[in-house]
Every structure is written in C-alpha cells, then in structure tokens.
Chains A and B, each alone.
Chain A
Amino acid sequence: MKNFSIIILVVLGLLTISSVFVINEGERGIVFQFSKIKRDSDGEMRIYEPGLHFKIPMIERIKKIDARIQTLDGAAARFVTAEKKDVLVDSYVKWKIVDFSTFYVRTAGGDINNARALLTQKVNNGLRTEFGRRTIQQIVSGDRDSLMEEAMISAQSSKADLGIEVVDVRVKRINLPTEVSDSIFKRMRADRHAVAKEHRSQGMEKAQVIEATVNAKVTVMKATAKKNAFTIRGEGDALAAKVYADAYSKDAEFFGFVRSLEAYENSFNSKSDVLIVKPDSDFFHYLKDVKSK
C-alpha cells in the first residue's frame, strides 16, 4: 500500500513535471504535436505568452523563440561609393521576430543564426544600393538619415519573408581607405599651414602698424620740441641783443675798444700761435724809444 502510494506519487510528479512548461519574459513558445505545429480552431498558430502552460506529455514538444529586440552587428563590410571608392562601413541592425510561425517555417526551424544570415544579406543589399548612389561626402554628412531609411525599407520586405520586423538600421562608423584618408590628411595639413601663415602675417601687420605709429609720433614729438627750442633760443638771443644794445649804445666807441681787446686775448692764447710782430706798434713803443711819443 505504502510502496504503491510512493510509486504513484513519483509517477504523478514526473507527469506533472513533463506536462507543464514555463515561458520566460522576453520569449514566446510554440507547441508541436508529433512535430506538427499546434494551431487554433481557425488555423492560426498558437503562440504561448510568458507564464506557466500545460502540454500533453510525450506528445507535445515546445520550441521557445526569443521575442526581444535583437542586434545584428557584424563586421564592417566593404562598399563601393558613387566615385568608385571603397569604404568600410560598420552598421548594425535592430530587429525582432513578430510573426513567429513565418519565422519558424522560413528559418529552418527557428534557427536564429539562419535568420541572421538572411537578414544580413538583405540589409547589406539595401546598403550596397544606397552607397553606390552616393559620394563619400553625401554618405558622411549629407543624408545618413535617408540612407538608413532606404536600408530599412529594403529590409522591411523581410517581414513577409521571415516574420522579422526591422526596428532600426544604423551606420556606426565609416572608415575610409588609406589613400582617401591620406589625401584628407594632406588637405588638412595644407589648410592648417595656410591658417598659420595668415596668423603670423596678421601679427606682423599689426606690429608694424603699431611701430610705425609710434615712430611717427616720436618724430613729430622731437621736431616739435626742436621748434620750441629754437623759438626759445631766438627769444634768448633777442633779449641778449637788446641788453647789449641798450648798454653799449651809451658809448659805442669804448665798447668797440673793450670788445676788441677781449677778442685779441681770446684769439691769441696758445703757444702754438706764432705772432710775427714789428716793434713799431704801440705796445713796443718803449722798447725802441724811451721818450714819450
């Protein structure tokens, strides 16, 4: 009795375990009856939402499918632009499964990797077409938005094909081939050199203006000072002349005499002056003759 009850208990436990299944948040489940997908009365496939569900043990099998938004972020792919240049484009695709039955059927039994490969092809085709129509300039800054739009539109067809909805296609980075980036660097250099030259010559220009201005100012200042100086000197000379004239006009003859004497004294005052004199001047009067004149 007791053994029997234990056996029953175990069997019941096993049955229970194999007849319930749990679908986690972010997943959906589909059920197979003898490998055939279980459908509703109206022929729609039954999709199991997250939670606890029952199935018939041994007969029904569960396949869980990821319902979250997934990312396709492959290696950078090489595209040819309108100017026949190669660019390496690293893009990513956000996608999610919306039609689980289609997805399951078209991807060899819900194989995610299979889906990825198909989607990559689709998106890359879209991108290839779009890049082929655009120049590098347009790709980088013109209309990346519309590029993504186009790629999305071309990937949208995957909805009917694969049961996949493309949420977003974005270009992450665009790497230029070496020769293109080299020429860009050359141009940047040239550009900077031009800027540098401009700055230096502007500096020189300003400096010269400042120096010239101050030089002019200085010249004028000195000239003005000289002018004033000459005026003042002239005043001095005039004043002196007046003083002399006022005094000497009292006895011009005597002044002439005194001034001459002073002049003689100042003119002949060194031993290198050689005077050849005759003894008949006034000064030597007594040298020859002791008598008075």
Chain B
Amino acid sequence: MAWNEPGKNDNDPWKNKGGRDQGPPDLDEFLKDLGNKFGGIFGGKKSGKSGGSNFSSIGAGIIVVIAVVVWAVSGFYTIKEAQRGVVLQFGEFNGMVEPGIHWQPTFIENVIPVDVQTTRDLARRGDMLTQDENLVLVEMQVQYRIVNAREYLFSVTNADQSLEQAFDSAIRYVVGHSKMDEVLTSGREQVRQSVWAELEKVIESYKLGIIIADVNFKDARPPEQVKDAFDDAIAAKEDEERFVLEAQGYALSEEPKARGIAKAIEQEAIAYKEQIVLDAEGQVAKFEKLLPEYQAAPEVTRQRLYLSTMENVYSNTSKVMVDVDGGNNMMYIPLDKIMQNQSKAVQQNSRDLTPVKQSSTETSPNSTVNSTTGRTDRYGRGGN
C-alpha cells in the first residue's frame, strides 16, 4: 500500500482528530503539551537565531519534518470490500470503519480488519450415541459469518474455536435425544433444525459476534463395525421388493397363458361342434342322395354296395379260407407265419394308413388357436 501523495504531506493529524472529538481529555492535554514543547523547542530555535547554529537547526528541522511526513504517510490504510475495520484508540474500542481508504494516527490508533462478508464453514464428525443406545457416525457442517467484529475479537479468546466446541456439544446433544432411524433416514431435517436451534442457544451467552447462516447434515452412517449388518438389512428390503416383483412377473405371464389355453379349449369345442354337425350333414347328404336310388332299385343297389364293400375289406386284409363243415378241432392254421409274412407289408403301410374318419372324441393335439383375441388390460387383473 504505497500511498504517497506529496500534496498531502502537510496533512495535520491533529486537525483530523479535532473533527472527530473522540480522544479522552487527558490525551488531548498530553498532546497539547507535547505540541507546546515541540513548538517551544522550534520556536526557541527560531527566535534565538544565531548564525552559527543555523545549519544544525535546519538539519534538525528537516529531520523532524521527514519524521512527521513518514508518520503521516504510515497512517494510510485500506479496508477491503468484504471487511470492516475495528478501530482501537490506545487499545480502547473506538468505532468501526467501512471499506475504503482511511487514515489513522500511528501509535495512537490501530485498526484490525475483520472479514464480515465471507461465509466460513466448519465441519465436525464423530461416532455418537443415540437415544436408543445405538452408535451412529454423524458429520455436520455449520456455515457462519461474523456480524459483530468487536464481539468476535474481544468477547472470547477464540471465537472460531468456541463455535466449534459449541457445535460439537449441540450435535451430540441432539443426536443423543433422537432415535437412530431418525438420524439415519427419516428425521434428518428435524435433526438439522434442532442442531441449529441448540447451537444458537449455546453460543448466545458467549457473544461470539457470529451469525449462523446454515447448518448442513452432510452424512449419517452406521459405524464401520456394524456396516455389513446394515447393508444386509437394506439388501433385505430390496429382496422384499424383488420377491414381490418376481411374483407379479409370474402372475403377469401366467394369466395371459391361461387365457390363451382357455380360449384354445373353447375354440376346439366350437370347432368340434362345427365339425360334428358338418360331418353329420355330410353323411346325411350322402345318404339322402343314395336313398332315392335305393328306393328305385333296392335289390340291385344293396347287392352292389355289399359287393364293393366286401371287395375292399378282403383286398385289404389277410384271409384264411376254411372250407370245412362243422368245425374240426384238429385244424391248425399257422397264424404266426401269416403275421410274419405280413409284418413287412404292415411296416410299410401302417404309417400312412390314416383313419377314414376322425374318431369323435379325439381332439387333434396340434390344432391351432386363433390367438389374435384382443388382450385385456394387463393391470386390470383380479376382481372377476
């Protein structure tokens, strides 16, 4: 802060002081005294001007002037924007100064700049006992500003440390009066507010000149020694949800499947109904077409039908003709031989032998189901 303006060198500090009118009377008198004495000395020199002592008196004068100038210049100081200055006159509090450039009479006043804008913070952590006798690891932070620089400097030996101690005490007091679950989860805001209130209550009597801007709850954890058990409990909560979700997943997959099966069963029944009726109608149509012909020539038609049927029957089966009357007990028919001979033929043919007509009660296993039935709303389950 090299503030050196020659024009101001003759700036008389006392004049400045006179305007302020703040010095204690004894001081003023002392200063006047001093002034008089100096004046006397200089005056003496000036009045008792003898040619020989001219140079030395001038030298002395110059030294004095330089001393005064140096003293005057050394009195300039600035207070930064965020600061306020606490003015002490001979150690006694003598007002505050605002940011900017100021002048003080060195040796008489001194100014202690104090930052009153910056928000400072202070964090404390530690294991603490809760009301339900659990230990929790809590970390909190307090943010504060200095509002009263005089109190901050002079009412306690160390304001910041005092705040720290009070904060320690307040956190533990509040945690000691809360349940563990509150501290760890639900009641954090409540704890934060209580700590704030408690802290303000504690520091009230200390007159720290500090205002609490905010109290933050940074962390609350169970202690390391029991962390795994806590983690397991949290995992269990997740498991609980997982079980439920899995069950819901099962439900959501089973229900549509069942709906599909139900639909298939119904469709098969409908198909069966159609089929059997159509079958009947077909059979009947065939019969009814045949009937007039038969009625026209019954004998011939019967004969013809009978023969063609028997022809089919005998041509498709193995036959043994026995032209013996009265059935002989001793007759031997090598049936097994016949079967063996037939087996090759059977193997070839049996696969592609399909029944002429489907048996009435059998439902084909691979009947397709019309699955484009409109899905009901997934979530509107239950209730029916």
**Are A233 and B272 in touch, CB under 8 angstroms?**
yes
Residue of A nearest to B344 (CB): A271
Interface assignment of A63: CB less than 8 Å from any CB of chain B: no
Q: Which of B30, B90, B283, B353 contacts A244 (CB 8 A)?
A: B283
Q: Does residue A261 face the partner (Cβ distance < 8 Å to B)?
A: yes
| B41 adjacent to A9 (CB under 8 Å) | yes
Instruction: Determine whether A70 belongs to the interface, using a CB cutoff of 8 Å to chain B.
Output: yes
User: Residues of A contacting B263 with CB < 8 Å?
Assistant: 225
Assess the B342–A271 pair: CB atoms within 8 A.
yes
Within 8 A of B (CB), among A247-268: 247-248, 250-251, 254-255, 257-258, 261-262, 264-266, 268
Residue of B nearest to A288 (CB): B323
Residue A42 lies at the interface, judged by CB distance under 8 Å to chain B: no
Which residues of the other chain, A, contact B320 by a CB distance below 8 angstroms? 274-277
Q: Is B247 a contact partner of A188 (Cβ separation < 8 A)? A: no
Contact of B319 among A12, A16, A274 (CB under 8 A): A274
Looking at the assembled complex, report how far the CB atom of B47 sits from the nearest CB atom of chain A, in whole angstroms. 12
Q: Let me know if B165 and A71 touch, CB within 8 A.
A: yes
Q: Which residues of B have CB within 8 Å of A9?
A: 37, 41
For this complex, into which size category does the number of interface residues on chain A fall?
Answer: 35 or more
Of A33-41, A117-125, A210-218, the one contacting chain B is A210-218
CA distance A189 to B290 in the complex (A): 92
Residues of A within 8 A of B372 (CB): none
Contact A251 B172 (CB under 8 A): no
Contact A204 B235 (CB under 8 A): no
Q: Flag B314-356 by CB within 8 Å of A: 1 or 0 each.
A: 1011111111100000000101001100110110011001011
Nearest B residue to A171, CB-CB: B169
A59 at the interface (CB under 8 A from B): no
Contact code string A191-229 (vs B, CB < 8 Å = 1, else 0): 111011111101110111111011101100110111011
Do the beta carbons of B88 and A202 come within 8 Å of each other? no
Interface membership of B237, Cβ < 8 A: yes
A243 interface residue (CB < 8 Å to B): yes
User: Are A70 and B240 also in contact (CB < 8 A) when A141-B176, A222-B261, A266-B355 are?
Assistant: no
Asked if A272 is at the interface (CB within 8 A of a chain B CB), the reply is: yes
From B126, B206, B239, B243, give the contact of A94 (CB < 8 A). Answer: B206
Do the beta carbons of A188 and B134 come within 8 Å of each other?
yes
- A236, CB-defined interface residue at 8 Å: yes
Per-residue interface assignment for chain B, residues 102 to 126, with 1 indicating a CB less than 8 Å from any chain A CB and 0 otherwise: 0000000000000000000000001
Chain B interface secondary structure, helix, strand, loop or mixed? helix
**B153 interface hit (Cβ, 8 Å):** yes
B265 within 8 A of A: yes
Q: Is the CB of B156 within 8 A of A210?
A: no
Tell me the bound Cα distance from A203 to B239 in angstroms: 7
Please report the C-alpha to C-alpha distance between residue A265 and residue B309 in the assembled complex, in whole angstroms. Answer: 6
Contact assessment for B165 and A206 in the assembled complex, using a CB-CB cutoff below 8 Å: no
Partner of A170, one of B169, B250, B274: B169
B365 at the interface (CB under 8 A from A): no
What residues of A have a CB within 8 angstroms of the CB of B225 in the complex?
185
Flag if A213 contacts B350 (CB, 8 Å): no
B309 near A193 with CB under 8 A, answer no
A84 at interface, CB cutoff 8 A: no
Q: Which of A23-31, A98-106, A126-134, A155-163 has 4 or more CB atoms under 8 Å from chain B?
A: A23-31
Q: How far does the alpha carbon of A5 sit from the alpha carbon of B333 in the complex, in Å?
A: 173
CB-CB under 8 A from A275, the residues of chain B are 313-314, 317-320
CB contact under 8 A between A225 and B206, given known A206-B243, A207-B243, A277-B321:
no
Whether B357 lies near A243 (C-beta < 8 A) is no
Q: A213-B382, A258-B287 are in contact. Are A71 and B156 (CB under 8 A)?
A: yes
Is residue B211 contacting chain A, with contact meaning CB distance below 8 A? no
Given contacts A203-B244, A251-B295, contact A276 B322 (CB under 8 A): yes
Asked if A239 CB lies within 8 Å of chain B CBs, one says yes
Q: Which residues of chain A come closer than 8 Å to B67, judged between CB atoms? A: none
Residues of chain A contacted by B317 (CB below 8 angstroms): 268-271, 273-275
**Contact assessment for A228 and B382 in the assembled complex, using a CB-CB cutoff below 8 Å:** no
Return B42 CB to nearest CB of chain A, in Å.
11
CA distance A195 to B185 in the complex (A): 15
Nearest 9 pairs between A and B by C-beta? A236-B273, A203-B240, A225-B262, A229-B269, A203-B243, A207-B247, A52-B90, A196-B236, A240-B280
Apart from A69-B155, A174-B129, A273-B318, list 6 A-B contacts with CB within 8 A: A9-B37, A141-B130, A222-B258, A232-B266, A276-B321, A278-B321
A interface residues with partner B (beta carbon < 8 Å)? 1-2, 5, 9, 12, 16, 20, 22-27, 49-52, 54, 66, 68-71, 73, 92, 94, 136-137, 140-141, 144, 167-168, 170-174, 176, 181, 184-185, 187-189, 191-193, 195-200, 202-204, 206-211, 213-215, 217-218, 221-222, 224-226, 228-233, 235-237, 239-241, 243-244, 246-248, 250-251, 254-255, 257-258, 261-262, 264-266, 268-279, 282-284
List 8 A-B pairs, Cβ < 8 Å: A50-B90, A52-B24, A66-B157, A68-B155, A170-B202, A229-B266, A271-B318, A284-B321
